Amino acid sequence: MPVTVETVARGSVEDRIVATGTLRAAQSVSLRAETGGQLAIARGPGGARLAEGDRVRAGQVVAAITGEEVRLAARSDATRQRYESAQRDYESRRALFDEGLLSAEALRPIETTLAEAKLESERSQLTELRSQLVTPIDGVLLYLARDDRGLPVADGQLVTQGLVVAQIAPIDGLVADVDLVAGDVARVRAGMPARVRHPDTASSGVDGRVTRLAPSVDATTRTLRAEVAVDNHAGTLRPGMFVEVTVVAERRDDVPIVPREAVAERGGRKVVFVLNGQKVSRREVGLGLGDDDVIEIRDGVEPGEKIVVRGLETLSDGTSVRVSGA
């Protein structure tokens, strides 16, 4: 009987839970126009207009709302001058009051005028600040000012209050939302390592870790939502991608392993066929962890022994064989 054999080796094996999920940013910010006016997209360090995909830093101006309407609403120069004038008037009157040359009743209206001028100046400054859209976080521009047809909005175009001008999110670390089926729910715990890969790539994936499990099972799908934090500093993944997530429930290193196809079932028992000269001996084995490719052998064979990995379908104990491949 022609067979292919392989030597029992020592290696690593994992108990894996494979699921699918969708990537998203761990956090995101939407910048909205708080007043109507003309849109002006900010420029980057090189002088070019910011675009989707550009990185921005916390505190950086992404866009501004300009125009006569904004200027009239702010009136920052006029209100600042009024406040400075009221401040000077109050200080001179206060000096007279301290010298006993002015009564408290005469000073009180001056104090009121100063307080009102200060409040109006602060409101104007706030209005002026609101016309500038500043990102509070570091991240990447995921979206930037598009019209109803999906085309970029030109500088100077009128926009209305409430328009979403930009969406920013950090993408160096992403989150994969994974739905676990009933059989896997009890096996997954927060802190377990994971690997995340896009199905259309040949890459083995990037490292991740289970960070959170939902407190309840979805009543409709009977699945449990798990969040897997993904290290994306290499930039190979993008928010919105559909990914394959492999959670490593357990891993064992330096243990005897054999190809999964080397294990057969005879009489309800798991067995392998060990090469012994020109014949094979059937050995009952105890199995441990396994994946799609290899499985751990806890007892029955030892590292260094040769076992049949192909052609064992019709073998029995003592069958004569011819090794045709290794």
45: CATH: 2.40.50.100
Coil, strand or helix at 91? helix
The overall average pLDDT reported for the chain is 88
Burial of 88 (0-12, 13-18, 19+ CB in 10 A): exposed
- Return the higher-pLDDT residue of 32 and 123: 32
Shortest CA distance to 34 belongs to which of 189, 136, 137, 159? 159
Q: How many domains does the chain have?
A: 4
Do residues 277 and 246 share a domain?
A: no
Q: Do 215 and 279 fall into the same domain?
A: no
Whether the CB-CB separation of 180 and 201 falls below 8 Å is answered with: no
- Domain ends where: 169, 196, 226? 169
Q: Assign 103 a pLDDT band (cuts: 50, 70, 90).
A: confident
State the pLDDT at residue 182.
81
Q: Are residues 204 and 298 in the same domain?
A: no
Instruction: Please report, for residues 6, 26, 269, 285, 286, the alpha-carbon distance to residue 305 in angstroms, rounded to integers and kept in the order given.
Output: 8, 50, 20, 13, 16
Query: pLDDT tens digits for 159-175?
Result: 888 889 999 999 999 99
Instruction: Indicate whether 103 and 194 sit together in one domain.
Output: no
Domain final position from 117, 141, 169 = 169
Q: Determine which helix (DSSP H) or strand (DSSP E) holds 158, and give its type and residue range.
A: strand 158-159
Q: Where are the beta strands (DSSP E) in 198-293?
A: 206-213, 224-231, 242-259, 264-266, 269-276, 279-284, 286-290
Cβ atoms of 199 and 243 closer than 8 Å: yes
Instruction: Check pLDDT > 60 for residue 68.
Output: no
3-state secondary structure of 99: coil
> Who has greater pLDDT, 230 or 82?
230
The DSSP secondary-structure symbol of 146 reads: B
Burial of 51 from C-beta contacts in 10 A (0-12 / 13-18 / 19+): exposed
DSSP 8-state assignment for residue 46 = T
In a shared domain, residues 46 and 156: yes
Residue that is written with structure tokens 């290499």 in the block: 234
- 300 neighbors 285 (Cβ within 8 angstroms): yes
DSSP alpha helices (H): ranges in the chain?
68-74, 76-98, 104-130, 182-185
**308: CB partners within 8 A, 6+ apart:** 3, 4, 5, 262, 272, 273, 274, 275, 280, 315, 321
Q: Are residues 159 and 284 in the same domain?
A: no
Domain boundary among 116, 142, 169: 169
**One domain, residues 115 and 236:** no
Neighbours of 75 (CB within 10 A): 16
Same domain, 268 and 246: no
Amino acid 148: pLDDT = 86
Integer Cα distance of 291 and 284 in angstroms: 20
Under the banding of pLDDT at 50, 70 and 90, the label for residue 72 is very low
pLDDT at 32: 92
pLDDT computed for residue 105 by the predictor: 87
Q: Does the pLDDT value for residue 54 go beyond 90?
A: yes
CA distance 143 to 135: 13
Contact between residue 104 and residue 126 where contact means Cβ atoms under 8 Å apart: no
Of 210 and 85, the one with more pLDDT: 210
Structure tokens, 55: 């990185």
The stretch 304-313 carries a mean pLDDT of 92
- How far is CA 28 from each of CA 16, 142, 174, rounded to the nearest angstrom? 31, 9, 11
pLDDT in tens, 104-144: 888 888 888 888 878 777 666 666 666 789 999 999 999 99
Q: How much is the pLDDT for 70?
A: 47
Same domain, 56 and 8: no
Residues of the domain holding 61 = 29-65+131-169
Same domain, 199 and 311: no
Retrieve residue 280's tokens: 């094979």
Instruction: Tell me the percentage of the chain whose pLDDT exceeds 90.
Output: 52
Token couple for 155: 């500088």
Check whether residue 139 and residue 42 sit in a common domain: yes
